[in-house]
Amino acid sequence: MSQATSPTNPYEQLWKQQQHFFQGQHTKRVERRKQQLSLISKLLKDHEEKLFQAIFQDFGKSAFETYATELGFLHHEIGFAIQHLNRWTSRTSVPHGWVNFPGKSYIQPEPLGSALVIGAWNYPYQVSLLPAISAIAAGNTVVLKPSEMAPATAEAMKNMINSHFAAEEFHVVEGGVTETQQLVDLPWNTIFFTGSTRVGKEIYQRAAKNLTPVTLELGGKSPAFVLADANLKEAAKKIAWAKCLNAGQTCVAPDFVWVESSVKAAFIEELKVALGAYPQTYNSNNEHYVQLISERHTQRMADFILDSSVVFGGNIELQHRFVSPTLLHPVGWNDAVMQEEIFGPILPVLEFDDLNAALSQALQQPSPLACYIFSSRRERINLILNTLPFGGGCVNDCLMHLANPRLPFGGVGHSGSGRYHGEAGFLSFSHQKSIVEKSRLFDPPVRYPPYLPWKWKLLRRLLS
């Protein structure tokens, strides 16, 4: 067992219950895992109205957007996992090699044990329940700690899950910093964290004391490159949509636009048109635009805006936690808005003359979670794809790489480590147990002493 935990940790009993349940082998049967996944799907349907109400309370987010970006995602992921679970959980044979002859070699995926999942607030259902679904598909028990910043959705998840799952198998714990730290200090078999890079570092350090492996799903400043050969109207429409979705509170939102100088003026005009389709003032009945999570976060946006040259938007209604879609230009790398992830509906527009120089500049920045490339020239698209490190992205679109569960999702460097969605999520919560199974037909004497000359010769031939 890993490092002893403090007897005063209020979650130790829950952790012990989950360890005991896991060690009782209860979560391993594949048919049972499918039943538990189906139960989550059923609960999401039965509680749909309550989930819609809770997210409206936290964000003013519409049922349409909640279904498109959260609940629909979860149903899709569950269906995909159930469909593929037999294959994912099967042993995979690998070539055995002469060294081990006679016999066979295979990999057997195994659940890691008890998983702690820590969620962020921005897509509260998706970023909390999606990893939990992967963990359950892989045969783990789960404690889920959603973000306290979205309290209504955290409570709705707690009510939905805790009344239908035994605490030893899947349990939601509400809490903030202290509670999360207490949870992280326990020797889980794995921790899955979604949130900021700053807190991710802290979680990683605390988990290291128990050698608990950690998956980090973090953020960053994801660029959208718009090259002179792009379809500007289409690029503007897609970038505006991706920036306005969830009022920019999306980990993979295009943080800023990087446009080739020759088309800058035309592109800004297209962006103004595209952003003009979104609400410019607060309206409590609005179904197309959500509120910012807090007044503090709204004030952060206001500070960026007041500090910069606004070419479109800039309407701030602090009391309604509302900021209209806003374009900033010109913007320099030293401006405040370029020093941290924006996470709101503000879009700085930077320009470049020379793509290679822009890429050199990009290489000086921390690796982002996403990158978007708008261009029609293959060699220029490939140049960006092959030069920059980033988690994932799209060519001539934004965000849509998340919608394919066959694409592993995750960051690189400061935007995170490890990945999930589909099979990648299953693998994140699994150990790949490697087995050589020997045939007892005969036991070649080569490895045993005495080390005769013929064995020496054979050894060198086999291992060269």
Residues at the interface with ligand NAD (CB under 6 A):
118-122, 127, 145, 147-149, 176-177, 180-181, 194-196, 199, 202, 217-219, 251, 341, 343, 369, 411, 416
Number of Cβ within a 10 Å radius of residue 353: 9
Give yes or no for a contact between 316 and 298, defined as CB atoms under 8 angstroms apart. Answer: yes
Pick 183 or 230: Cβ nearer ligand NAD = 183
Contact between 58 and 141 under an 8 Å Cβ cutoff? The reply is no
Integer Cα distance of 311 and 305 in angstroms: 11
Place of tokens 């979680």: 203
**Contact yes or no for 37/81 (Cβ under 8 A):** yes
Beta carbon nearer to ligand NAD, 24 or 176: 176
Residue 371 annotated among the catalytic residues of the structure: no
DSSP state of 2: -
Out of 70, 217, 260, 341, pick the active-site residue.
Answer: 217
The first and second tokens of residue 291, run together, are 């509120």
Question: Is there a catalytic annotation at residue 217?
Answer: yes
Query: What is the rounded distance in angstroms from the CA atom of residue 136 to the CA atom of residue 32?
Result: 10
Could you tell me the smallest distance in angstroms from the CB atom of residue 441 to ligand NAD?
Answer: 51
Give the tokens for residue 325. 């879609």
Strand partners for 348: 328
Residue among 103 and 213 whose Cβ is closer to ligand NAD: 213
Kindly tell me which of 264 and 419 has the beta carbon lying closer to ligand NAD: 419
Q: How far is the CB of 190 from ligand NAD (least distance, A)?
A: 16
Of 178 and 284, the one with the shorter C-beta distance to ligand NAD is 178
> 373 near 229, Cβ under 8 Å?
no
Query: Other C-beta atoms within 10 Å of 177: how many?
Result: 10
Of 77, 168, 251, 423, the catalytic one is: 251
The residue number with the shortest CB distance to ligand NAD is 219
* Closest CB 78 distance from ligand NAD, rounded Å: 18
For residue 343, the minimal CB distance to ligand NAD (Å) is: 6
Nearer to ligand NAD, 154 or 228 (CB): 154
377-382 contacts, C-beta under 8 A, 24 or more apart: 377/227, 377/229, 380/227, 380/229, 380/355
Q: Among residues 62 and 122, whose Cβ is nearest to ligand NAD?
A: 122
Residue 156: is it exposed, middle or buried by C-beta count within 10 angstroms (0-12/13-18/19+)? Answer: buried
What letter represents residue 242's amino acid?
Answer: A
Measured CA to CA, the distance from residue 39 to residue 36 in angstroms comes to 5
Name the residue nearer to ligand NAD (CB basis): 400 or 458. Answer: 400
Alpha-carbon span 399 to 259, nearest angstrom: 19
Tokens of 245: 């979705």
Find the shortest distance in angstroms from Cβ 424 to ligand NAD: 12
Q: How far is the CB of 452 from ligand NAD (least distance, A)?
A: 58
Six-digit token string for 375: 């261009």
Nearest approach in angstroms of CB 356 to ligand NAD is 28
Q: What does the DSSP assignment read for 76-113?
A: HHHHHHHHHHHHHHS-EEE---GGG-SEEEEEEEEE-S
The tokens describing 229, both together, are: 């050969």
Q: How far is CA 154 from the centre of its chain?
A: 18
Active site residues: 217, 251
